[in-house]
Amino acid sequence: MERPYGNQIPIDPMNPIKIVKSLQERTALGLLQLKHDPVRLLTAIAGITFADVLIFMQLGFSDALYKTNTQYPRAIKADIVLISAQAKNFGQLRTFSRRRLYQAQDVTGVATADAMYVGSVDWRNPETRKKASMMIIGQNPSQPAFDLPEINAKIADTRLPYHVLFDRSSRGDYQELIDTVEAGQPANTEIGVNTVTVSGLFSVGASFADDGALITSEQNFLRLFPRREPGAVSLGLLNVEPGYDIEQVREQLIARMPDDVLVLTRDGYVDFELNEIQSSSAIGFVFGLGTAMGFIVGVVIVYQVLSTDVNSHLAEYATFKAMGYRNSYLLGVVFEEALILSLLGFFPSLFIAMGAYQLTAAATALPIAMPVSRTFVVFFLTLIMCNASGAIATRRLQAADPADIF
C-alpha cells in the first residue's frame, strides 16, 4: 500500500467521501515547493502569462479576420446569391454578365434578381484631407440588399447623384463628419475627381483590407467607375417567391446557369467566404502559426521551471521513494505544480488580453472581443501546455534510484 504523506489518509477508490476527505487533508507539497523559490515562481507565471496573451491575441486577430470578411455576406438580404466562379472573397469578387440575372428570372420560383457592384476607392477624409481606402457597394435603392435597418432607412437618398452612405465605424477620425450628418446636414468630400455628399450613416466596421465602407446606388457606383461596364456585376441577389423551396429553386438555377457562375444559398455563400479565407489566405495560416508558437513557448518555459525544480529536489524525491512512496504520488506532486502554474498564469493573461482587445478595437475599428468560448479554449490549452511540460519534466524523476542518489 502507498504510504500516506503528512495528514494524508489512504484513498479508497470506491468511496467518494474518503476521496474528498483525502484531498482536503493532503499536504499541498507542490504549492510549498513553488513557494520555496519566489523568483522562479514569478518567472514561470510571467512566461505562462506571456504565452497565453500571445495565444489570446492570435485567436482574436484570426476571429476578427473572419468577421470582417463575412460581415457584409452575413447581412445580405437574399435567398440565393450568384457569384463569379473565379471569385475569391467579398473584397476580391470577379464580375460576371448581368445576363445571368435575366436568365435567373426565367426560372420558376424566382421573384426578384438584383445586381450588386463592389469596388474599392480612395476617398479624402474631409477633416484631415488624407486619403483612405474605402470599399464601396452599389445596390438597387428600391430593393434592400442588406438586412441592416440603418442602411434601408436612408438608401433612398442615394438616388440623388453622387450621394453615399458612410460607415461611422470606419477607421480614422471622422467625428466632425458624423456630427454634421447626425445633425441632419449633408457633408461633402472627394472621391477621385468627383465631389460626393454623405447623406446618411450606418455601422458595420472596418476590415483588414479597407478602412471602412460606403454604400450608394448602382447609378452612382457607375458614375464613380466610368470605365466599369454596367453589364459586369459583382453579385446577383435573388429572392424566392413564397411557398417555393429555396434549395429546389437553387438546383434549377444550377441546371440552367453556365459554369461561369456559382449558385449559393445565403448561408452557403457565408461558408464559401470562410472556406476561402481558411484554405487560400496566408493570413489565416499566419495567425494559426502564431497560436502554435505561443503554445510552444509556454511548454518550454514551464518545462524549464519544473525540470529545474525536479533536479533541485531529486534527493528529497529519492528519500520519498526509499520510504515506500510510489512513482504515482511523486508524479502527482509535479503535476500539482503544473496545475498551479497554469491557474496563476492564465488569469493575469485573461485580463491583459481583454485590455489589449479594447485598445486594438479602439485603434483599428476591428470587431475584436472576448467571447466566453475563447476563454475556455485558452484555459484548456494552458492546462495541456503545463501538463505536457510536467510529463516531460518527470522522466528523470521516474528513473531516479535512491541507491544512486545516496
Count of Cβ atoms closer than 10 Å to residue 275 Cβ: 11
Compute φ and ψ for 92, nearest 5 degrees.
-130, 55
- pLDDT for 7: 43
Distance CA 262, CA 384 (A): 43
Compute φ and ψ for 33, nearest 5 degrees.
-70, -35
**What dihedral angle (degrees, nearest 10) is formed by the CA atoms of 384, 386, 392, 397?**
-130
Instruction: Give the rounded distance of the alpha carbon of 53 from its chain centre.
Output: 15
What type of residue sits at position 92?
Q
- pLDDT for 273: 86
Count of Cβ atoms closer than 10 Å to residue 364 Cβ: 17
The conformational region for residue 256 under phi > 0 = left, psi -120 to 50 = alpha, else beta, is alpha
- pLDDT for 397: 67
User: Sign of the C-alpha dihedral, residues 165, 169, 174, 180?
Assistant: positive
**Cα-based angle 72, 75, 78 (whole degrees, multiple of 5):** 115
Task: Show the cell assigned to 385.
Answer: 501546455
Q: What does the pLDDT profile of the chain (406 residues) look like in tens digits?
A: 344 444 444 444 444 454 344 444 455 666 777 777 788 788 888 888 999 999 999 999 888 888 887 889 999 999 999 999 988 888 788 899 999 999 999 999 999 999 999 999 988 888 888 888 899 999 999 888 999 999 999 999 999 999 999 999 888 888 888 999 998 888 899 898 899 999 999 998 877 778 889 999 999 999 999 888 889 999 999 999 999 999 999 999 999 999 899 999 999 999 898 888 777 667 777 888 888 888 898 888 888 887 887 777 677 766 776 777 676 776 777 778 788 888 889 999 999 999 999 998 888 778 888 999 999 999 999 988 888 888 787 776 666 665 555 5
- pLDDT for 329: 72
Strands 131-139 and 212-217, sheet pairing: parallel
Domain map of the chain by residue range? 16-67+283-405, 86-258
